[in-house]
Amino acid sequence: MSADRRPILLANARIVDPSRDLDFNGDLLIADGVIRDAKRGIGAAGVPEGTEIYNCRGKLVAPGLVDMRAFIGEPGAGHRETFASASQAAAAGGVTTIVCQPDTSPAIDDPATVDYVMRRARDTAVVHVHPMAALTKGLEGHEMTEIGLLKAAGAVAFTDGDKSVTNAQVIRRALTYARDFDALIVHHAEDPNLVGDGVMNEGEFAARLGLIGIPAAAEAVVLERDLRLVALTGGRYHAASVTCAESLDILKRARDAGHPVTASASINHITLNENDIGSYRTFLKLTPPLRGEDDRKLLVEAIASGLVDVVMSDHNPQDVETKRLPFAEAAPGAIGIETMLVAGLRLVHRKELSLTTLLRAMSTRPAELLGLPGGTLRNGAPADVIVVDLDVPWVLDPNELKSKCKNTPFDEARMQGRVVRTIVGGRTAYDFV
């Protein structure tokens, strides 16, 4: 990150602030690490001496993104991703805050590990990093972690990563305990017994490929159970990744009943479907699996209506040894932190989502749910800001990505729009030249 923290005027910009439903042409002034003003006509005359004046020429200026679900290998799997490499990828993708998952080695299940992660990230990352802590000790699904102590140490939410807690009593206790600390439980709803040996969405396409399918019911059954427990306990619950129509129906019923329930969808599930797997493309083997086109469309509609609150990257780096295998044997997961916004812009260009709605789901809502600063361009807010050229066409070359692993589902995809500058805390963390 640039050490230079002199004031910056982002002039002649299209300013979109999803926290206030604002979309206007004007200037944004950053000084002392915070946003000083965002309005029409600040101009060079109204800024402190020594201010860098950056002519945006109509480009988008928006709050930096808050990625609510990303796997980073430290501690224990630095060969897959480090805080340094993940944060460089994040800055290039317009993500100014990463929320990392606890399924590391050792798991982030005690205050000392939370402290290690926060210090390590502070020393090596160019963006903000906040850890989610494990929901159960060792991610084993049996014994609840010390939610109060972990939250005090800096954990922003509690999850077992991509593992589902099958014991309903454990989830009930966690929701009850978390309620007293106003802590957020984030759960991956997927019944491992129903998943079985499945490797992609159950249906005609899986049958044609000769692959064992995973039914949507594997997700819906666990989500239904969880939301009944929310009704019982009153604890705050966030569905880590919803992918199908059945889950949306369950979510809507809980919302209509007034329960404290929110949900995320991954960028992969709203921009891709099972047909993109094509001839066994392992970079599109994910957990939960990609669903059909009807489910994808319903997910996008749910984001537009606010039923699904957050769009996250579900960044999951896998190296060549675990991906260059037959589809059934390959590890699930795709990188996404650097491509989350540009992939989402496909939906904006196709008029499936408005730009403000997409940015709200990627910045304002995750910041609100986790109690983090950011996701807004209000005066006095932290200067976590991105500049985006919405129209520039380019082809994604995985070798140019900053992640350690290159398992992107958008290999050689045509993109329209890219981040040209990322500012974190008033300092430039990324500048596209």
In DSSP notation, 44-55 reads GGGS-TTPEEEE
C-alpha atoms less than 13 angstroms from C-alpha of 157 in its C-beta half-sphere = 26
Q: What is the pLDDT along the chain (433 residues), one digit of tens a residue?
A: 445 689 999 999 999 999 999 999 999 999 999 999 999 988 777 788 899 999 999 999 999 999 999 999 999 999 999 999 999 999 999 999 999 999 999 999 999 999 999 999 999 999 999 999 999 999 999 999 999 999 999 999 999 999 999 999 999 999 999 999 999 999 999 999 999 999 999 999 999 999 999 999 999 999 999 999 999 999 999 999 999 999 999 999 999 999 999 999 999 999 999 999 999 999 999 999 999 999 999 999 999 999 999 999 999 999 989 999 999 999 999 999 999 999 999 999 999 999 999 999 999 999 999 999 999 999 999 999 999 999 999 999 999 999 999 999 999 999 999 999 999 999 999 999 8
| Gap between the Cα atoms of 94 and 82, Å rounded | 18
Q: Which residues contact 81 (CB under 8 A, 6 or more apart)?
A: 71, 72, 73, 74, 315, 317, 403, 404, 405
What predicted TM-score, i.e. pTM, was given to this entire model? 0.96
Region at 54 (left for phi over 0; alpha for psi -120 to 50; beta for the rest): beta
Q: Report H helices in 62-211.
A: 83-92, 111-124, 147-153, 168-181, 192-195, 204-209
Residue 3 is predicted with a pLDDT of: 52
| Gap between the Cα atoms of 359 and 362, Å rounded | 5
Which residue ranges form the domains of the chain, and what is each CATH number? 8-61+382-391+407-431 (2.30.40.10), 63-370 (3.20.20.140)
Phi, psi of 79 (to 5 degrees): -70, -25
Q: How many CB atoms lie within 10 A of CB 323?
A: 20
Q: Are 129 and 121 in contact (CB under 8 A)?
A: yes
Q: Are 397 and 412 in contact (CB under 8 A)?
A: yes
User: Among 103, 191, 314, 384, which one carries the catalytic annotation?
Assistant: 314
Q: Are 338 and 332 in contact (CB under 8 A)?
A: no
Q: What is the pLDDT of residues 378-401, one digit of tens each?
A: 999 999 999 999 999 999 999 999
**Two tokens at 431?**
């500048």
Q: Which residues contact 358 (CB under 8 A, 6 or more apart)?
A: 303, 311, 344, 345, 347, 348
Residue 1 is predicted with a pLDDT of: 45
Cis peptide before 409 (omega within 30 of 0): no
Please give, one letter per residue, the 3-state secondary structure of 364-379.
HHHHHHHCCCCCCCCC
| Gap between the Cα atoms of 109 and 424, Å rounded | 28
Q: Which residues contact 84 (CB under 8 A, 6 or more apart)?
A: 124, 125, 126
In DSSP notation, 385-423 reads EEEEEEEEEEE--GGG--SS----TTTT-EEEEEEEEEE
102 DSSP assignment = S
| Gap between the Cα atoms of 296 and 310, Å rounded | 15
3-state secondary structure of 237: strand
Identify whether 314 is a catalytic site residue.
yes
Q: What is the pLDDT of residues 246-274, one digit of tens each?
A: 999 999 999 999 999 999 999 999 999 99
| Gap between the Cα atoms of 301 and 307, Å rounded | 9
* Host H or E run for residue 323: helix 320-323
In residues, how long is the chain?
433
